[in-house]
Amino acid sequence: MEKKDLRIVYMGTPEFAVESLKRLVEGGYNIVGVITMPDKPMGRHGTVLQPSPVKQYAVSQGLKVLQPEKLKDESFVAELRELKADLQIVVAFRMLPEVVWNMPRLGTFNLHASLLPQYRGAAPINWAVINGETETGITTFFLKHEIDTGEIIDQVRVPIADTDNVGDVYERLMNLGGDLVVKTVDSILDGSVKTVPQDKLAEGEVLRPAPKIFKETCRIDWSKGVKQIYDFVRGLSPYPAAWTELCQGSAAPQVLKIYETDKIFAEHSFEPGTVVTDKKTYFRIAVTDGYINIRSLQLAGKKRMGVADFLRGYHHEDGAVVK
């Protein structure tokens, strides 16, 4: 079968999923439909509807778009069936019911931003950086009942530098993901595809999960060490961002989002969470084995700024702490 004859349905929502769709379109593959999330209400009153990045790209290419509220809805399932897909591809979408993933004759494969079976879940890039991993990757695998557990088709390994934040790794994986999706489609098309059960790769491994990240997940625990906090901040930067509360005197606590830090290993006598600053050039937080030197941050209601700009408008009182 030629690639122009292979009927593909593509499913995805965020920017991460646009790159793979773009590679398929530009490569001349036959995309018969794109499934994405319903438009999201935006603005103060929720009156403006914002289409997903995948929808925006699909519409620009004249592709058919479906936006079901519920994936088990009978009218959606019927409409999907009418597309007569040979293959479905899922990149950063939702958990699919069996009636959807089991529909095409060649199956449904997913692109996941980790080296499965490690970091199954909704936020694999964040958790790999938070946990201080020096390597991650991308995986394509066929879908089955349990989420992120299907047989692996292919993987690409990617180093994580100590200075990388989640945004850096995201960009790298997004671009490599486009290559891997095309390679996977070609292997399915020419019949050379081979798969490996995840159980085989999981033997002797301690598996780390990648659960969804909520606001409270992002709060910094200042009782931890320099390396753990440094990795935590970069694993949430630039989005959704690690945060803390700055407390001093009788003033109400101020929420600070923290984006960039340096590690300073040192002995000191301060309690963890104590603010140490010269009020002009540095703003450091004492932790158990040194200091976290803050380089860029954001006050609630303000723009992100470098620490020197922050200190120009910051009135420091002795005894200030973060919690």
173 known ligand binder: no
Is 117 a known ligand-binding residue?
A: yes
- To the question of whether residue 115 is assigned a binding role by annotation, the answer is yes
3-state secondary structure the chain: CCCCCCEEEEEECCHHHHHHHHHHHHCCCEEEEEECCCCEEECCCCCEEECCHHHHHHHHCCCCEECCCCCCCHHHHHHHHHCCCCEEEEECCCCCCHHHHCCCCCCEEEEECCCCCCCECCCHHHHHHHCCCCEEEEEEEECCCCCCCCCEEEEEEEECCCCCCHHHHHHHHHHHHHHHHHHHHHHHHCCCCCCECHHHHHCCCCCCECCCCCCHHHECCCCCCHHHHHHHHHCCCCCCCEEEEEECCCCCCEEEEEEEEEEEECCCCCCCCEEEECCCCCEEEEECCEEEEEEEEEECCCCCEEHHHHHHCCCCCCCCEEC
20 has binding-site annotation = no
Which residues make up each annotated binding site for (6S)-5,6,7,8-tetrahydrofolate?
Answer: 114-117
Binding residues: 114-117
